[in-house]
Amino acid sequence: MDTDGLIKALSADAGQAKPAMGRVLLAVSVLAIVAAATVFAVTIGPRPDIAAAAETVRFLFKFVVTALLAVTAASALTALSRPQDAGPWRLIGLTVAPVLLLAAIAGELATVPAGEWSARLVGTNSLACTTLIPLMGIAPLALFIAALRYGAPSRPALAGAIAGLAAGGISATLYAAHCTDDSPLFVATWYTLAIAILTAAGALGGRAFARW
């Protein structure tokens, strides 16, 4: 087939274009939140003392950092779902949540006696945290990878990893309502590990399914 023939075939198939990438990613993000929230509601649910916890800064801060991660990762994902090289500056937003968490760690170390640091870091829910966040993130990650497959990422593995971060952000935001460990030391250790699992899975998924 020569190129002119190909152009004839392609232009004959102009038709109506498929829904724009940005819209699809937005719809997929909503679906991902609904899917993870449904799993959360029918399985673990919020902690019993959530009303009292909601009056403490440490509890509320968990949502700030995890929700920020979800938003910044989803925004980076929008850029990475298109073929143009996103460039490092498109990923700069991803530093917001970690920087905030580092500041919170500094605050925690300054206000809590050194003798309590390790107990707060280890907490009581580390196993639940590192299991439940990846599990609740599976559906969002699958949805984001499907969205990348619909898109045209020039770096499928990187885009997949960021999809894992976004899924992890959503899942961790929900899990934070369940978990009774609120110290930034706990969050920085176990949430990070749990989200890293999803990020690695996302990189593999992106490489396997988002090539085009």
Partner 1 sequence: MDEAELARLMRAALAGDDKAYAGFLVAAAGLVRAFARRRTGQGGIDPEDIVQETLLAVHVKRHTWKPDAMVTPWLYAIARYKLIDSYRRRGRRIDVEIDEIAETLAAPEPDRVSDREIGKALDLLAPGQRSVVSAISVEGRSIGETAANLGMSETAVRVALHRGLAVIAKRFGRG
Which region, judged by CB under 8 A, interacts with partner 1, from 15-23, 111-119, 136-144, 171-179?
15-23
Do 172 and 141 meet the contact criterion of CB atoms below 8 Å apart?
Answer: no
Distance of alpha carbon 133 from alpha carbon 195, whole angstroms: 7
Long-range contacts, stretch 47-51, CB < 8 angstroms, 24+ apart: 47/177, 47/178, 47/179, 47/180, 49/180, 50/177
> Would you say 25 or 36 has its CB closer to partner 1?
25
8 binds partner 1 (CB under 8 A): yes
Radius of gyration of the chain (CA): 20
Helix, strand, or coil (residue 20):
coil
In one letter, which amino acid is 105?
Answer: I
> Would you say 1 or 110 has its CB closer to partner 1?
1
> Would you say 74 or 179 has its CB closer to partner 1?
74
Among residues 152, 157, 197, 200, which is the contact residue for partner 1, using CB under 8 A? 152
Q: Token pair of 54, please?
A: 């909601």
87 binds partner 1 (CB under 8 A): no
Locate tokens 């929900």: which residue?
174
> Would you say 48 or 87 has its CB closer to partner 1?
87
Among residues 21, 122, 146, 157, which is the contact residue for partner 1, using CB under 8 A? 21
Q: Token pair of 155, please?
A: 């770096």
13 binds partner 1 (CB under 8 A): yes
Among residues 58, 82, 90, 207, which is the contact residue for partner 1, using CB under 8 A? 82
Which region, judged by CB under 8 A, interacts with partner 1, from 80-88, 119-127, 134-142, 198-206?
80-88
Helix, strand, or coil (residue 166):
helix
Binding positions for partner 1, rule: CB under 8 A: 1-3, 5-22, 24, 81-85, 150-152, 154, 211-212
